[in-house]
Structure 1
Amino acid sequence: MNGFDDHGIVRMGLVQTIKRLRPSAQISEVEDYRSLYKLILEKELDLVIMDVNMPNGSVQDAINYIKIHQPKLKILIFSSQDEEIYAIRYLKMGADGYLSKQSSPAVIEAALTSMLKTGRYASDLLRESVFSKSFTGSSKGSPFEALSDRELQIAGKLAEGLPIKEISTQLNLHASTVSTYKVRLFEKLNIRSVPELMEIFRLYS
């Protein structure tokens, strides 16, 4: 089992919950995507609990890597990103569950129990969103549906107030590449500034 999260306190809480649910569990912790890849090659794991805001890679690359090297390994995305905007995308990428960091301790325990027993987890909110989308063909008419996965990832970081240079470092991309994505997503969302982007996130969160 692998705990992969960039917030020490959050990670500590997860570890304690896992140990309570499965006392015999062997837990490994890593700090970034490169360390995760190394661990995947060294150990056979049952479950990866993975944050998306990590250096030296991307969540899509990590999921692809896991599917190649340990295809039976279950993946739970644990993130503070808006569940209705991001969760379905991560499931489509190949993750087996999405858990919000804003979840209560009881929900976190239920999610971990489900992942350990069945290898899958979806919150009530996510199930309702999928059910609604199956009939309407959209998710609240969200403009973010028009963005690619990378554009949405960068949009989220811009909305957090991160500068281009910091985003490029986190995602291991050239600053010019991040700037290009910024231009594209601004065009798709028909906006001209980061404050406008923040407002869209507020409206659709």
Structure 2
Amino acid sequence: MLTIGLIDNFMISRLGLSILLNNYYQDVMLLEANNVQEYNILFGHHTPDMIILGNNSNDEEKCLAVARQLKKLNPDLPLIIYDEHLMRNLTISYFRIGISGYILRQNTAEEMIPCIETILNQKKYLSPILTEHLLDSLSHNYGEKTPKRRPILTRREIEIASYIAQGMKTSQISAMLGRKASTVSSIKHNIFRKLNVKSVTELLDAFSEFPF
């Protein structure tokens, strides 16, 4: 049985997500609560497979504090966050404290199941919308002494980097784009070389070095 902690003080959103999960998974137990404190009181003795947290505030510090609290209490559990508002500066901070998936509330119907499945396969998931915003910041270099923006990644490299950031393998990207695997591998090598990174985690970390 798949057991998922579901924390969201928006009852309607929680109900919709509950219906979505119960319709997709034949055998799932949902541990539902309005907030972290209530969850710990009701289900502190349970060990779910993952926890899903809905953030409704536009206060970045508050959202990050709640995520930190959950990770401190459940350091080994995968944590998925879906935010009401697009707060790009939070993306890097979230992953640095150890979350496993990040999407927007408006896309939960389309992305929550793929996000969960990706995490069950021990990978991280970042919404394509958020990935696009982050990678767009990498397409230009803002030098202090350079008045004009200088491209870092080409449009094709940005596209492939977005797939890499989502955890896709070279063979999957190759099939999706209709390109040879060797071509995709070469582009991936160029992306990592240009950004001076060696892994997907470092690729995400590189975003923090560029303004949003």
- So what's the TM-score if we normalise by structure 2? 0.53
Structure 2, gaps ≥5 residues long = 143-211
Q: How does 1:131-142 map to 2 (within 5 A)?
A: 131-134=135-138, 136=140
The DSSP-based 3-state class of the residue aligned with 1:81 is coil
Q: How does 1:1-205 map to 2 (within 5 A)?
A: 1-39=4-42, 41-53=44-56, 58-103=62-107, 105-118=109-122, 120-134=124-138, 136=140
Q: What CA RMSD, in Å, does the superposition of the two structures yield over aligned residues?
A: 3.0
Question: Quick one: which amino acid aligns to residue 33 of structure 1?
Answer: V
| 1-structure distance, mates of 2:141, 2:11 | 39
Contact 1:79 1:100 in 2 (8 A): yes
1:130-181 superposed Cα distances (whole Å, 9 cap, x missing partner): 334456478xxxxxxxxxxxxxxxxxxxxxxxxxxxxxxxxxxxxxxxxxxx
Contact 1:114 1:121 in 2 (8 A): yes
Contact 1:44 1:70 in 2 (8 A): no
Contact 1:63 1:94 in 2 (8 A): no
Structure 1 or 2: more helix by fraction:
1
Equivalent pairs counted in the alignment come to 137
Q: CA deviation at 1:29?
A: 0.6
1:167-198 superposed Cα distances (whole Å, 9 cap, x missing partner): xxxxxxxxxxxxxxxxxxxxxxxxxxxxxxxx
1:12-60 superposed Cα distances (whole Å, 9 cap, x missing partner): 1211222233222211111122113335632112111112237xx9443
**Greater RCO (Cα-Cα under 8 Å, separation 6 or more):** 1
Aligned residues: percent identity? 18
Structure 1 or 2: more strand by fraction:
2
- So what's the TM-score if we normalise by structure 1? 0.54
Structure 1, gaps ≥5 residues long = 139-204
Which is greater in Rg? 2
